[in-house]
Amino acid sequence: MNTQKKSTQKKRRFNLYAMVWRTPIIVWQLLFFVGPLLFMIAMSFFLVKNYRMIEAFEMKNWIKMFSKNYFWDSYYLTFGLASLSTIIATVIAFPASFALAFKVSDNVRRWVIFLLIIPFFTSYLVRIFSWYVILAESGVINAMLSYVGLGPYTMLNTMFGTLVGYMTLCLPLVVILQTFSLANVDKNLIQAAKNLGCSPIKTIYSVIIPLAKTGLIVAALFCFILSFGDFVSPYYLGGSKPPTLPILIIDTTKSGQQWPRAAVVAVVMMATLITIAFAALALAYKKRASR
Amino acid sequence: MSKKTIFKPSRRDVLKYSAAGAAATVLSTPFVHRTWAQTTEINMLAWYGHGEADIVGAYEEANNVKFKPKYYAGGDNMLALIAQSPPGTYDVILSDGEFVQQLNAAGYIDELNPADYNFDDMLHEDFTNFPGHWAAGKLHSVMVRCGHLGVSYNTNAVSAEEAASYACFWKPEIQGKVGHFDWHLPSLGMMSLKNGNGAGLWDLDDAAWNAVQETTMSLRSQVGGFFDYGGTFNSLKNGEMQAMCGIGDWITGVLEKDGAPVASVVPKEGGIQWTESYCIGKGSDKADQVKHFIQYMTSPEGQVKSAQMAAYPGFAITKGGRKLLNEVDPKEAQRTGQVDGMANDPITLIKEGRIHYRDIPQQQSLEDWNDFWSEYKNA
């Protein structure tokens, strides 16, 4: 009985210790994520009269937004652009990450990662505005193309401009995450594949990618989340034409201060991202079936 | 301590109490001094630029005040900021003329004394009795500046003759190069004028409203983008947009002064006037200072500053302001037609009936117009 009591006490002390470390992050999540999320959901049922929000529980906002074609147009556009951004960023980043993980020295890798982090020191908005000078019809790219008799091409206020903005936002992060993931692949397994006659290409997709799958999917997921919620690129480089969901939130609040309807859009965005995140993480951590 | 000691202090006591007295004097003096120099903060709610040094700098220095501006873009945004703030948050409010009646109806602004303002100096009687500024014979707002919206264009892409009509926005050569200022009110107002609604441009029945929507949708294939304040400047300046709907000289004037090949004109279908007026925020404890500031802004000096505002120029609305502008900046006066007798004199255009004051829709709600605007952007 004394042994049992000691064991229970030891277990209780152990749990208390764990809770001390867990509590700050739990409190943080409750205060700055769960709480605001719950308030946003509640706000989607409020009404607005004379530019003031009134607490209510009405479905009007949901019915209004869901019945509008422009809401669904924006939704599919935003989802499509974010998906495209994810695919492009993943494909572009992979060769760079592969080279950083397997082909360069540790010193070069450190410096390149440092250079990839530097853009985050500057304002994203300023970086987007700097693309005006480069992408404009009278900008740097068209000027260079004119020397070889090409152009001018319209790059600003197009989906191409939006995607350039998304790459500005996401690509450095995707490269960094992919690099860390690839660098953690056991090099002995790669060597074993080569010894067993695997070609380099087959080694990549049969050995390296499956082993780095978790990191690659997480990198893609970050890109999707950032692109899906970005307002700056579609507005300033895409010309808000057509508007994505973040732009629709701004438009909805600008006229009549319809925060409850903006909350509907935001809740739909959150639900989409949570679903995508769970699906991606389930795929990332899914164990391979043994043969 | 004995009485004897109090009335006959020792040398030590004298030194002790003298030092304490001197310290108290020295420590309190800075507080007294700081009180004398304390600057009055005036909270301002306005369009961008009205709280900047080029407008208020001289006034601040002369009157020991400091403006703390909160900027908005669009009347709806202004109303929402006020609605969500406690009474007295904003001492001075610069409102679009058409929103003053809503400010008043909601009880956000104070009544003004007409005798405090020099209405006799206004260039047009409408500026004294601007719609919505008076309610039941009581004054609630004083107009301080205005400007005209029409066709804004790149002079290398659109000729002056073409720009004489809103039809130039449909010019095939500028497909994909027509921009919109991202606010439904001025753009849809222009489409209404294009449809020939004239003075009734805001008072549309169902048939007229449907027609405006059709006309607007027909422009969609020409549109290169929807821009905020900064994006509008950028896209006109770098030539991405060759024409812009929903703006006027308040944007192109700044670019023109910088040498950009852009201009704005009031086309034959008519133009829209934006009007800005100052009000005193309800609950403000600085009403006297705000009154003094409004008097300054309607004085010749204030009117010239307003006309030359770096953020966006406007018209002087007083005779004294126009006279002083012609003396100190004849080039700007000429550029904007603020010279008596010029063909594009804004006052002449108003008298000819070519200018229509911007208003809110009468038979539809702002929500209806905004809903259509969202559909249009998504088309």
How confident is the model over B279-291, as a mean pLDDT?
94
Same domain, B95 and B187: no
pLDDT band, residue A13 (cuts 50/70/90):
low
**A232-272 confidence digits (pLDDT tens):** 999 999 999 889 999 999 888 876 778 999 999 999 999 99
**B15 lies in some domain:** no
**B286-329 confidence digits (pLDDT tens):** 999 999 999 999 999 999 999 999 999 999 999 999 999 999 99
* pLDDT attached to residue B325: 97
- Chain B contact present for A49, CB below 8 A: no
User: What are the residue boundaries of the structural domains of chain A, listed by start?
Assistant: 69-284
Model ipTM value: 0.81
* pLDDT attached to residue B20: 64
CATH number at residue B202: 3.40.190.10
Assigned CATH for A69-284: 1.10.3720.10
* pLDDT attached to residue A19: 86
**B18 lies in some domain:** no
Same domain, B195 and B308: no
Same domain, B86 and B155: no
Q: What average pLDDT does the structure give for chain B? A: 90
Same domain, B105 and B237: no
| CB-closest option in A51, A73, A240 to B226 | A240
**B344 lies in some domain:** no
**B28 lies in some domain:** no
pLDDT at B22 over 90: no
Q: What is the distance in angstroms between the Cα of A133 and the nearest Cα belonging to chain B?
A: 9
Check the CA dihedral A274-A275-A276-A279 and report its sign.
positive
* pLDDT attached to residue A12: 54
* pLDDT attached to residue A8: 54
Q: How many residues does chain A have?
A: 291
- From chain A, pick out residues whose CB is under 8 angstroms from the CB of B374: 68, 70, 243, 248, 251-252
- Using only the alpha carbons of chain B, give its radius of gyration: 26
Same domain, B250 and B374: yes
| CB-closest option in B73, B227, B366 to A256 | B366
Tokens 């202004």 locate to B78
DSSP letter assigned to residue B38: P
Q: Where are the alpha helices (DSSP H) in A118-186?
A: 124-135, 140-146, 159-183
| CB-closest option in B73, B184, B377 to A242 | B377
- From chain A, pick out residues whose CB is under 8 angstroms from the CB of B82: 51
How confident is the model over B161-182, as a mean pLDDT?
96
* Distance, CA of B337 to CA of B38 (rounded, Å): 43
Residue B290: how many other CB atoms lie within 10 Å: 24
Q: What's phi and psi for B17, nearest 5 deg?
A: -75, -30
pLDDT at B143 over 90: yes
Residue B318, domain extent: 40-145+274-332
B377/A251 touch (CB, cutoff 8 Å), yes or no? yes
**A131-143 confidence digits (pLDDT tens):** 988 999 889 999 9
The fraction of chain B above a pLDDT of 70, given in percent, is 91
B238/A137 touch (CB, cutoff 8 Å), yes or no? yes
How confident is the model over A2-22, as a mean pLDDT?
67
Same domain, B117 and B132: yes
Same domain, B168 and B140: no
How confident is the model over A100-113, as a mean pLDDT?
94
A255/B76 touch (CB, cutoff 8 Å), yes or no? yes
Same domain, B243 and B370: yes
- Chain B contact present for A72, CB below 8 A: no
* pLDDT attached to residue A1: 53
Same domain, B125 and B185: no
Rounded to the nearest 10°, the torsion over CA B344, B349, B354, B358 is 100
How confident is the model over A71-92, as a mean pLDDT?
97
Which carries the bigger pLDDT value, residue A291 or residue B45?
Answer: B45
Same domain, B372 and B245: yes
DSSP letter assigned to residue A150: -
pLDDT at B354 over 80: yes
- From chain A, pick out residues whose CB is under 8 angstroms from the CB of B79: 51, 257
Share in percent of chain A as helix, strand, coil (round to 5): 75, 0, 20
Classify B52 as helix, strand or coil: coil
* pLDDT attached to residue A81: 97
Same domain, B141 and B202: no
Note which residues in 167-206 of chain A have CB less than 8 A from chain B.
none
Q: Are B231 and A236 in contact (CB under 8 A)?
A: yes
pLDDT band, residue A286 (cuts 50/70/90):
confident
pLDDT band, residue B33 (cuts 50/70/90):
very low
Q: Are B361 and B191 in contact (CB under 8 A)?
A: no
* pLDDT attached to residue B366: 84
* Distance, CA of A48 to CA of A200 (rounded, Å): 62
Q: Are B198 and B356 in contact (CB under 8 A)?
A: yes
Same domain, B62 and B168: no
- Which of A13-17, A21-25, A284-288, B165-169 comes out lowest in average pLDDT? A13-17
A68/B375 touch (CB, cutoff 8 Å), yes or no? yes
Q: How many domains does chain B have?
A: 2
**B9 lies in some domain:** no
